[in-house]
A and B are shown apart, each in its own frame.
Chain A
Amino acid sequence: MSASQSAVRSRAEAVAVSRTFDWMILFTLFTVVLGGYHIHYMLTGGDWDFWTDWKDRRLWVTVAPIVSITFPAAVQVMLWYRYRLPIGATLCVVALLLGEWINRYLNFWGWTYFPVNMVFPSNLIPGAIILDVVLLLGGSMTLTAVVGGLAWGLVFYPGNWPIIAPLHVPVEYNGMMFTLADLQGYHYVRTGTPEYIRMVEKGTLRTFGKDVAPVSAFFSGFVSIIIYFLWHFFGKWFNKTDFISGEDV
């Protein structure tokens, strides 16, 4: 090919071609990130995300933010540092939530008949917006990790509180007191997941009650900072454009 020759015949055609590629690239990036992020999230924090009776004040609040800050940190490396698009975290979370909502409707409800108000996914959007805004305003990976990462953990429970609160009110049932969410799990039997597998509200200091969620959120934010750093560098590696020779494979 000639080094000086253009593949297009006019500026208008170049613009049209470029825009078409934009859409094809966006679709592919969106769906591949959706698939990778979803399989990661469902297998590292999924059980707490699937069922309302797993959405407790301790382990859900601790685990979900820590395992979900991974892909946003990596995709921000590409979209911000290469293309100056401050939407890396939001794109990941919107993709993940779309995949989850489709699944909860068509499969959790449509195939195994659980009510959607028992199987809705956790809301990660507030944290994603904060992560992107901190990166946009600060332009710094360190600032985004420390401020954004901490905020990611801290806002998770408040961001989900309006949704989960009605299911955390106490009820008395057959002489026992538990939450409405527990009652859902009691009535909708999951034979393949017996009660002894459910990991909720385990610990010692939780006896004192009111401090459980804030302490969990703060610890989660702390670990999210570390995970952000780690996944930023994973993201850098995945952005490489290197070629290797056939002998290396």
Chain B
Amino acid sequence: MAATTESVKADAKEAPLLNKTNLIAGWMLYLVFYSFIRWYEGVYGWSAGLDSFAPEFETYWMNMLYIELVVEVVLASGIWGWLWKTRDRKVMSITPREELRRHFTHWTWLVMYGWAIYWGASYFTEQDGTWHQTIVRDTDFTPSHIIEFYLSYPIYIITGVSSFLYAKTRLPTYSEGLHLMYLVSVIGPFMILPNVGLNEWGHTFWFMEELFVAPLHYGFVFFGWAALAIMGVVNTECAAIGKLLKKDLA
């Protein structure tokens, strides 16, 4: 009887396998933040974002660019540094249950990566199409670019690299060697950001109008394909989780 009570107490104290609060809070964080950003675009895009030589453009858009760049560098350094600093140096000796718990945390990171990719690659990128096909740009730092290139892309890069670092430093599955498709699925979409250099060079010196299917944009396409490497990550995860469960689930 006493032993049973102890066991129940131990179970009650044990951290849950999946921290649902973190999962929901993380998901909501992106949603609320990007809803605010979309509201900001709606209000200050038309009223202060059409003439880059106007003082209000500096106030509402360039200042936003400076702030987001600083915050992103601080966030990336902080999160990546913390993940590396607190890495598990005895990762091969954790219990199967702890390993399963970490897989859940890892998948919380991956859910955030998927969510961030949606906002960056789908929502804000196609939004850029309608903005630049409608207005005439007079700068590389348009309201649309300040959000798309310099906010939503860095956010999915920070999230993706964090996910990779979590897996590498805390899961036995990834502790030895580097998972090729994981690297591709994080570094490929990351390369979309440096490709902005080609995009701006082309729009500045060659083609001011917006044609979305222009060859100038094919670099974004090529690196976007790398998102498919998530399939290799899912395959590895399914095998690892299946091994941990060791149950017939049919």
Say yes or no: B114 contacts A21, CB within 8 Å: no
Query: Would you give the shortest CB distance from B203 to chain A, in whole angstroms?
Result: 11
Q: Which residue of A lies closest to B223 (CB)?
A: A39
Please report the number of residue pairs spanning A and B whose Cβ atoms sit closer than 8 angstroms. 252
Say yes or no: B118 contacts A34, CB within 8 Å: yes
A-B contact pairs, 17 of them (CB 8 A): A1-B92, A1-B95, A20-B104, A24-B108, A28-B114, A30-B114, A31-B118, A33-B228, A36-B117, A38-B121, A42-B129, A82-B235, A110-B42, A193-B133, A242-B180, A244-B177, A249-B183
Say yes or no: B177 contacts A246, CB within 8 Å: yes
Contact with A along B174-194 (1 / 0, CB 8 A): 001111110111000100100
Query: Would you give the shortest CB distance from A31 to chain B, in whole angstroms?
Result: 3
| B231-250 with Cβ < 8 A to chain A | 231-232, 234-239, 241, 244-249
Given A28-B107, A35-B120: A243 touches B224 (CB 8 Å cut-off): no
A205 within 8 A of B: no
- Number of residues on chain B facing chain A (CB within 8 A): 84
Say yes or no: B129 contacts A7, CB within 8 Å: no
- Residues in A with CB closer than 8 Å to B244 are 6-8
Q: Report the separation of the CA atoms of residues A99 and B123 in the bound assembly, to the nearest whole angstrom.
A: 7
Known interface pairs A36-B226, A106-B123, A238-B228; 19 further A-B residue pairs with C-beta atoms within 8 A, sorted by A's residue number: A25-B237, A28-B111, A31-B117, A31-B118, A32-B113, A35-B121, A38-B125, A40-B224, A42-B212, A44-B218, A46-B212, A50-B133, A74-B228, A75-B228, A190-B134, A192-B210, A240-B180, A246-B177, A248-B178
Query: Would you give the shortest CB distance from A19 to chain B, in whole angstroms?
Result: 9
Say yes or no: B125 contacts A42, CB within 8 Å: yes
Say yes or no: B125 contacts A39, CB within 8 Å: yes
Q: Report the separation of the CA atoms of residues A122 and B123 in the bound assembly, to the nearest whole angstrom.
A: 17
Query: Would you give the shortest CB distance from B55 to chain A, in whole angstroms?
Result: 23
B29 within 8 A of A: no
Query: Would you give the shortest CB distance from B87 to chain A, in whole angstroms?
Result: 15
| A67-121 with Cβ < 8 A to chain B | 71, 74-75, 77-78, 82, 99-100, 102-103, 106-108, 110-112, 114, 119
- Residues in B with CB closer than 8 Å to A140 are none
The stretch of A10-18, A162-170, A209-217 in contact with B is A10-18
Say yes or no: B249 contacts A15, CB within 8 Å: yes
- Residues in A with CB closer than 8 Å to B247 are 6, 8, 11, 14-15
Say yes or no: B97 contacts A7, CB within 8 Å: yes
Q: Report the separation of the CA atoms of residues A43 and B195 in the bound assembly, to the nearest whole angstrom.
A: 14
A29 within 8 A of B: yes
B47 within 8 A of A: no
- Residues in A with CB closer than 8 Å to B125 are 38-39, 42
Query: Would you give the shortest CB distance from A130 to chain B, in whole angstroms?
Result: 22
Pairs of residues from A and B, 4 with the lowest C-beta to C-beta distance, nearest first? A36-B227, A35-B121, A31-B114, A243-B177
Q: Report the separation of the CA atoms of residues A11 and B247 in the bound assembly, to the nearest whole angstrom.
A: 6
Say yes or no: A31 contacts B249, CB within 8 Å: no
Given A24-B107, A238-B228: A6 touches B245 (CB 8 Å cut-off): yes
Query: Would you give the shortest CB distance from A37 to chain B, in whole angstroms?
Result: 8
Q: Report the separation of the CA atoms of residues A21 and B234 in the bound assembly, to the nearest whole angstrom.
A: 11
Measured CB to CB, the residues of B under 8 A from A are 17-18, 38, 41-42, 45, 92-97, 99-100, 103-104, 107-108, 110-111, 113-115, 117-118, 120-123, 125-127, 129-137, 172, 176-181, 183-185, 189, 192, 209-213, 217-218, 220-221, 224-232, 234-239, 241, 244-249
Query: Would you give the shortest CB distance from B91 to chain A, in whole angstroms?
Result: 10
- Residues in B with CB closer than 8 Å to A36 are 117, 121, 189, 224-228
Q: Quick one: which of B120, B121, B179, B211 has the most chain A CB within 10 A?
A: B121
Which of B17, B18, B137, B232 contacts A239, CB < 8 Å? B232
Which of B115, B122, B217 contacts A38, CB < 8 Å? B122
Say yes or no: B228 contacts A191, CB within 8 Å: no
Q: Report the separation of the CA atoms of residues A245 and B18 in the bound assembly, to the nearest whole angstrom.
A: 31
A27 within 8 A of B: yes
- Residues in A with CB closer than 8 Å to B133 are 50, 190, 192-193
Say yes or no: B130 contacts A114, CB within 8 Å: yes
Which of A11, A38, A111 contacts B41, CB < 8 Å? A111
